[in-house]
Structure 1
Amino acid sequence: MKDGNYNEKANGVERPLNLAIDIKNNKIKQVDNKSTDISDLEQGTLDKMSQRIIDNQSVNVDTVSGATISSKGIISAIKQAIADAGGDIDDFSNKVSQNFSKADDDYDSWIREPQKIEKTIQTDLVIVGSGISGLSAAVQAGQDKIKTLVLEKNGFVGGNGSGVKGMMSAETKMQKKAGITFKKEEVVRNELETIQYQADGSFWVDLVNHTADNIDWLIDQGVQFDRVDDYHHTCPLPTFHWFKGGRGAIGYIPFMKKKAEELGVKISTSSPVTGLIFKDKTVKGVYASIDDQVVKINAKAVIFASGGFGQNRALIKKEGWNTDNMLFVGMTGSTGDAYKMALAAGAKDTLENSAPLITNFVQALPLGNGRDLLAGGPALWVNQDGVSFTDESITDRNAILQSQPFKSIKNGYLVFSREMFAKYEDNLQDLSEEEQKSMKGIDDMNHHDSTQALAILDKAVKTNKGNSLFEADTLEELAGKSGLPKDEFTNEVKKYNEFCQNGEDKEFGKAKKYLVPIEKGPYYIARLNQSLAISIGGIGENRHFEVVDDKWNKIPGLYAAGIDSAMQYKNIYTINLGGSCCAHCVNSGRYSVKNAKKYIEKLA
């Protein structure tokens, strides 16, 4: 190959990176970033990938967990540099893998000692994960002067928390300054009513009582909040505290990481935990892969804060969901490792009552925010028999309810007219200019007016990804294209239109304001599938975030925080007060450490 410094572009999720790749003496010598603006996530991925490729002189290496797209972009850029230098890609394609994955159903393997241990280290506390809860725990541990090691599976910190927009709180200084007044017990009542009092209310009391102090504490650590409101008029109470920039990656993650490290907490990325040290019915540490070595880490306590199992199709199916066309949009590293380790140690299994963040989507349409026609309201849903099966306006009570009825049917479909799509997909019409500005760039809503909405619809019909969207001039033709029983379907639409015209739904009692007739063609039908962002819950615990067994006996040395735990939810995530899960993550991170500290001190 010709020696030289080759400038290549590496495509990523956010933007392409400009890389300078140094080739000398037929070897890849160095990979440098030449972009002026690079995020911590991108830099971490570049560092890990370039080191793996240079060390092994191979582009056929494992991608960085949680950063697959960026990793592949870096590989492609280096391949291009090799080609530009006149090299043969095959000479740099030896397979190099450090995959420590285990069989999905072999939970006991997570508490077996590895055949070969290459290094042993000692610490007081291990925190598994560095998202919202993991970093909260890390900072608290640093302040409490506990010798702590944070192990992060991904090649960067943040996890699911990077995309979180803010957190719920009650009776904060920010709210008082904004003239917002309500009692915190109103939050507790609202949440318990939403889940029909199925959860232990003391978990909610603890959380809400701590939220104002937790906000103050976060601000003291450097976390930045923009404002407090009712999240675009979607919350019954103005409890939502926005992170600066509308993302945890901007307002939360960098400040908490910096603070934890200033306090002496060691954070090791690309370090997946591969097992739990469990002896004499007590947790005594973990096994992990650090710098491609199998490491035994003896610890007095372990806190799981690993981000749940939102990427584990088998576990989501175990919850009762149809996963055939489900879209998994969360962090790829959220595979339920902590859940499996906890169950192997005898933990109470609460998976069937966990509360995933699942919304509806149509494969042919771009992903929206789940609160438009796809979420129900002024539209008609029918099942595989062409029959209506629920009140589509249930999202007025809780946005996550949109997906729940689909758990009990084979397939569900959205029926609407072109006129309806133009009207209800214009998601700017009811917002003030100030609100529109505040949403841009920080909210995941698709911003478009009616003309743009129809252009999106027309393109989707033509491409029809997943064979999921059909257009027709008549209802009979629409039934034929979608494969639904013609008579049942057309009669159902006619009946629904009669309800709309009379202003009364005589089957499900749907609110009059949502009774919009489907009268004028063209008509459309879309198969509604589900999109999963995160799982919430799965590991049983008590109010002290101590993991418990089926008899509610605590498992010594083991704690669960964040969405590995979340006992305050049962089946339904109460997102009608947005940010409650993030509030729980911060709170459980802090208080799992406070309680672990008491346990550790007793062992001294």
Structure 2
Amino acid sequence: MGGMETNISRRNLIKGGAAFAAAATLLGASACSPRKDAENAPAAKSDLPADLRASDFKYSVVETDPITSFASEETYDIVVVGAGCAGVPAVLTAVEEGATVACLQKEATVAANGNGCSFVVKEASNLSGIARWRSDWAKLSDWRINPALFQYYVDYAEEAVPWVISRGIEEGITPIEFLTDSSIRYDDGSLVAVCDATQESNQSLMVALANRAEQNGAKFYYETPCVQLVQSEDGTVTGAIGKTKDGKYIKLNASKAVILAAGDYMNNDSMVDRNLHDSFMYPRVLENHTGDGHILGILAGGRIAPLGHARQIHSNYIGPFMFFPFLALSLEGKRFCNETVGMSSLNIPMSYTTKPEDAGRHFRLFDSKTEGFYPSSLGIPPVALVGEGSAWMDPEIVVSGNTLEELCENAGIPVDEGVASIKRYNEMCAQGRDDDFGVPGSHLVAMDTPPYYCIKGDVGMSAINAGVMVDDRYRVIDEDSNPIPGLYAAGVDAGNPCGGINWSMPGGFSNSHIFTAGRYTVIHALTGDMKPKNPSGFDDLKEYFAGEDGSYMWESPDCATAISVW
């Protein structure tokens, strides 16, 4: 998913960890240029833009036949499509900016995911530190990151994320952890100061912010997905059409802009098959994410981001366990990878050894050593995480055994194969070299101290981070890279900030670029500028982020000197 420099405070490791335990003319299926005549029927699905297929519509709510009869018609300054981690900040920002705003939401309520966020404190950083930090992350994705969208995060998340957090605190939703551990002081004096905050749940946060917006005049149309956009003769997007649960159409005119914030396409099998075919190997952990915003944007004349569409990978052992290179076994009890691969990339080596019906399941094993244990940045033995009272000792996930045979039996590992694999691994540990998968000798730790433990792991895809192409203000752009007037995209509907096979970006970047684009697309649509009326910032939260001595990790001699990927 991303990286973080040990974003777990020691005081929360053993008994806490909740931070871890827990994105006019009716537009039919036209080609890339908009129709010029409101009476023209939409093109046949065989004439779809190159980025779409007729089969995409089997899974999406988007409609292509012209809609001309409406149960109601209303006009707002801003119309938002989707009420999640981008859509809700967009709606609340519009309210605070004094604009009228409505939101079309497919679900019966707000639908938000994740819990972490981050931002760079530019005043405490230096330019070389930010540039080197960005380059470190770019290298992880074969230099495919979008520099403009990364810089957008650097420039505007510093205001947007504290704004989201502060508004949440005002509504009684306070993050459960504030950290500055992801800051990096490089060997040449370059410095990037990073703040991370973790909510118990973004769902609770976004529900609270949506309620706040609604109480201040915003209109939410729940169970009313956007099924078409409205476009004028010159191509300007001027509104959106929603379909109520009883089949009636409502037309929402937008005098300033429509913001697409409808989530990813992981549940649109047609789009997944075309763009991320190997993702069928793993569970897709969200529901009803059918690429509606992508399709609407493409039909308006936009284009989908080029491959790769970075997928976010999570396992059920997210938390401190993900920092250890534990012995990994397949469902057949066989070792299958170099265990130093990060949790966020584990799907890649697994793709050669697992089947879709395996649902990403595997096993991670460790023993009870208190000295000479697996190296990690945590500085504690993994056995310390599974003692009495630990939040991590979930009997459904972590099992133990006093012998290797008992461990395999309790975990559901084929006993003969599992024990043989462990013994072979121990042989590699004894010789200090890994003949099978090339793990460095420093990371080889024998399974020889009972009791033994097994994490019954799984791997699933939690997001696809790629949408329609946008410019440096998140305006949807056409095939000539010109912005489509009146149309923005935010969250995973927008651009391709990472561009890699998997999401390898700073910890918290995903939610933060989503919050930030949701907020600043509205500000730009209303003002043509990037200056909110009621700005927030690090100073509003600095007491939360300060350590017990009032300092921050970027000021400490213990500040990290390199990024860490998990």
TM-score by length of 1: 0.61
Q: Spell out, residue by residue over 1:223-280, the C-alpha distance to the aligned partner (whole angstroms, 9 max, x if none).
A: 4445422689999988453345x22234x32442244234422122222112222454
Deviation at 1:156, TM superposition (A): 1.2
The equivalent of 2:25 in structure 1 is none
**Which of residues 531, 534, 543 is equivalent to 2:460?**
531
d(CA) in 1 for partners of 2:202 and 2:410? Answer: 35
Greater share of residues in helix? 1
The equivalent of 2:112 in structure 1 is 160
The equivalent of 1:304 in structure 2 is 260
1:214 matched to 2:160: yes
d(CA) in 1 for partners of 2:501 and 2:387? Answer: 30
**Which of residues 321, 326, 338 is equivalent to 1:378?**
326
The equivalent of 1:454 in structure 2 is 400
Of structures 1 and 2, the one scoring higher in RCO (CA 8 A, sep 6+) is 2
Q: Is the 8 A contact 1:142 1:260 kept in 2?
A: yes
1:349 matched to 2:304: yes
Letter in 1 for 2:317: G
1:145-224 pair list within 5 angstroms: 145-157=98-110, 159-161=111-113, 164-171=114-121, 184-185=130-131, 187-223=133-169, 224=174
Deviation at 1:126, TM superposition (A): 1.0
Q: Is the 8 A contact 1:188 1:208 kept in 2?
A: no
Q: Spell out, residue by residue over 1:533-591, the C-alpha distance to the aligned partner (whole angstroms, 9 max, x if none).
A: 22211221111101123332222222110121252111255556321111101110122
Percent identical pairs in the alignment equals 19
Q: Spell out, residue by residue over 1:119-170, the C-alpha distance to the aligned partner (whole angstroms, 9 max, x if none).
A: 322223210111121111112212332321111111112x123xx3231112
Q: Spell out, residue by residue over 1:299-353, the C-alpha distance to the aligned partner (whole angstroms, 9 max, x if none).
A: 24211111212333443333334455632322x2322111122222332222632
Aligned with 1:139: secondary structure?
A: helix
d(CA) in 1 for partners of 2:117 and 2:386? Answer: 19
Aligned with 2:476: secondary structure?
A: strand
Aligned CA distance change for structure 1 residues 449 and 155 (closer, same or farther; 3 Å): closer
d(CA) in 2 for partners of 1:401 and 1:451? Answer: 20
Aligned with 1:287: secondary structure?
A: strand
The equivalent of 1:247 in structure 2 is 201
Deviation at 1:286, TM superposition (A): 1.6
How many pairs were matched up? 453
Aligned CA distance change for structure 1 residues 183 and 211 (closer, same or farther; 3 Å): farther
Aligned with 2:465: secondary structure?
A: coil
Letter in 2 for 1:353: G
The equivalent of 2:294 in structure 1 is 339
d(CA) in 2 for partners of 1:588 and 1:316? Answer: 24
Aligned with 1:308: secondary structure?
A: coil
Aligned with 1:295: secondary structure?
A: strand
**Which of residues 114, 123, 133 is equivalent to 2:67?**
114
The equivalent of 2:548 in structure 1 is none
d(CA) in 2 for partners of 1:328 and 1:458? Answer: 33
Aligned CA distance change for structure 1 residues 595 and 510 (closer, same or farther; 3 Å): same
**Which of residues 129, 133, 138 is equivalent to 2:82?**
129
Unpaired segments ≥5 residues, structure 1: 1-101, 177-181, 361-366, 441-445, 480-489
d(CA) in 2 for partners of 1:592 and 1:217? Answer: 15
Aligned CA distance change for structure 1 residues 294 and 576 (closer, same or farther; 3 Å): closer
Unpaired segments ≥5 residues, structure 2: 1-53, 187-191, 530-566
1:287 matched to 2:236: no
Deviation at 1:431, TM superposition (A): 8.2
Aligned with 1:210: secondary structure?
A: helix
Q: Is the 8 A contact 1:562 1:589 kept in 2?
A: yes
Q: Is the 8 A contact 1:127 1:303 kept in 2?
A: yes
1:500 matched to 2:444: no
d(CA) in 2 for partners of 1:381 and 1:516? Answer: 15
Q: Spell out, residue by residue over 1:1-29, the C-alpha distance to the aligned partner (whole angstroms, 9 max, x if none).
A: xxxxxxxxxxxxxxxxxxxxxxxxxxxxx
Q: Is the 8 A contact 1:351 1:539 kept in 2?
A: no
Aligned CA distance change for structure 1 residues 297 and 242 (closer, same or farther; 3 Å): same
**Which of residues 68, 92, 96 is equivalent to 1:143?**
96
d(CA) in 2 for partners of 1:338 and 1:274? Answer: 10
Q: Is the 8 A contact 1:417 1:520 kept in 2?
A: no
1:392 matched to 2:328: no
Aligned with 1:277: secondary structure?
A: strand
1:329 matched to 2:285: yes
Q: Is the 8 A contact 2:141 2:504 kept in 1?
A: no
1:465-504 pair list within 5 angstroms: 469-472=412-415, 474-475=416-417, 497-504=426-433
d(CA) in 1 for partners of 2:302 and 2:68? Answer: 25
d(CA) in 1 for partners of 2:455 and 2:399? Answer: 15
Q: Is the 8 A contact 1:221 1:259 kept in 2?
A: no
**Which of residues 486, 500, 510 is equivalent to 1:557?**
486
d(CA) in 1 for partners of 2:301 and 2:448? Answer: 57
**Which of residues 526, 541, 551 is equivalent to 1:597?**
526
d(CA) in 2 for partners of 1:348 and 1:121? Answer: 29
d(CA) in 2 for partners of 1:143 and 1:523? Answer: 55
d(CA) in 1 for partners of 2:397 and 2:166? Answer: 46
Deviation at 1:454, TM superposition (A): 2.1
1:359 matched to 2:303: no
d(CA) in 2 for partners of 1:233 and 1:450? Answer: 35
Letter in 2 for 1:308: D
Aligned CA distance change for structure 1 residues 344 and 421 (closer, same or farther; 3 Å): farther
Aligned CA distance change for structure 1 residues 530 and 222 (closer, same or farther; 3 Å): closer
1:245-284 pair list within 5 angstroms: 246-250=200-204, 252-280=205-233, 281-284=235-238
Q: Spell out, residue by residue over 1:412-451, the C-alpha distance to the aligned partner (whole angstroms, 9 max, x if none).
A: 8857668589999xx99748999999995xxxxx435999
Aligned CA distance change for structure 1 residues 274 and 109 (closer, same or farther; 3 Å): closer
1:104 matched to 2:47: no
d(CA) in 2 for partners of 1:463 and 1:507? Answer: 26
Aligned with 2:265: secondary structure?
A: coil
Aligned CA distance change for structure 1 residues 187 and 264 (closer, same or farther; 3 Å): farther
1:221-236 pair list within 5 angstroms: 221-223=167-169, 224-229=174-179
1:372-451 pair list within 5 angstroms: 372=321, 377-380=325-328, 388=336, 390-395=337-342, 399-407=343-351, 411=355, 414=362, 419=367, 430=381, 446-448=392-394
The equivalent of 1:93 in structure 2 is none
d(CA) in 2 for partners of 1:120 and 1:327? Answer: 40
Give the stretch that moved more between structures: 211-220 or 522-531. Answer: 522-531
Q: Spell out, residue by residue over 1:486-520, the C-alpha distance to the aligned partner (whole angstroms, 9 max, x if none).
A: xxxx7x88875554322233575423343245789
Aligned with 2:258: secondary structure?
A: strand
